[in-house]
Amino acid sequence: MTIQFYLTPAAGKRLIAKGIAQLDSVRKALENGTVLIIGGTTNAAVAEELLKAIGDTEGFDRKGFFRGITVPKGFKYKHQESIGDVVITNGKWQRGLMVYDACADLKKGDIVFKGANAVNLDEEQAGVLLGSDNIGTAGPVLTAVYGRRVSLIVPVGVEKRVEAPIFELSEMCNSPDASGLKFLPLPGQVFTELHAIELLTGAYAEILGGGGICGAEGGCYFLADGTDEEIGKLRELLSEVETEEPFML
C-alpha cells in the first residue's frame, strides 16, 4: 500500500524526536549512561521526548532551549533566558549542567545530540553553520567523539536538505577568500523524518514535494510504501504529530 502525507517542519521535529526515543542505543544510555542534548529547536522536541521517557519534565521550557536561531528579517521577539542543555545520567536529569560541564566525563556508550543546518540525504551527512570565531559547542563534543568514542546523533529535518556534498560546502565556506558564516561537517549518525518513519512503522518513505504558506513554509509532501499493518501504524503516528505547533518565541 502506498500513501501520501504532508508534514510541517514542526511536525517533522516531533516525529524525529519520537523516533529517537525508541532507538535501542538511546534507551540503553538513558538507563545506564549519560545522554547530552545540546540546545536547539529540533533538539527541544528530542529533550521533551527523552525527559518524558524518564518521567521528569518539570522545569523544561523549549522556548529557552536554543542557541543560534534564524528568524525573518525585522522579526522582533522577547529575549528568552536560556535553560542550558539537558544532561541525563542513569535516568536522572542533572539540572543546570551545560555541554561544557558534561563532555569531559562522557565515555563510550554515552550519546550526544547536536542539531544541524544542512543534511545531504544521499550521503547521510550533516553540517552546522558557525557564526563565531570558534566552533562553540562542537569543540567539546568532537573531543568526546574522536577522543573517547562517544556516539553523536544529529537530529535534522529534511527541510534542511542540500544537494552538494557536505565536505564540499565546508571547503567553500571555510576558504580564506570566503566571507560570512563558516561550516562544520558533523561526524555523527544523521536522523531525519525518513529514519523515524522506518523505525517506528517499518514503512519506507520518500520526499514527494515541498512548500506551503501560512506557517507551512518549508514543509514537505511524502510518499510512503508498506504493508497494510505498517501503513496503519504510520497513519496513527501521523495523527500524533501532524498538528504540532511551530516553535515560537
What digits encode the pLDDT tens for the residues 63-85?
878 777 777 777 776 766 667 89
Position 196 in a domain: yes
What digits encode the pLDDT tens for the residues 147-173?
999 999 999 999 999 999 999 999 999
List residues bridging with 130 in a β-sheet. Answer: 182
**Three cell numbers, residue 89:** 545520567
How long, in residues, is the chain? 249
Residue whose grid cell is 542550558: 84
Give whole-number Cα distances, 112 to 30, 100, 144, 199, in Å: 11, 12, 9, 20
Position 15 in a domain: yes
Domain that holds residue 227: 2-71+80-241
- CB–CB of 244/8 below 8 Å? yes
Position 89 in a domain: yes
**pLDDT greater than 90 at residue 234:** yes
- CB–CB of 208/221 below 8 Å? yes
Select the more confidently predicted residue: 63 or 118. Answer: 118
The pLDDT value given to residue 61: 86
For the chain, the domain total comes to 1
Position 246 in a domain: no
**Three cell numbers, residue 163:** 544537494
Position 18 in a domain: yes
Position 219 in a domain: yes
Provide the CA 203 distance to its chain's centre, in angstroms.
21
Position 115 in a domain: yes
**Three cell numbers, residue 24:** 535501542
Nearest to 37 by CA among 87, 1, 109, 92: 87
Position 11 in a domain: yes
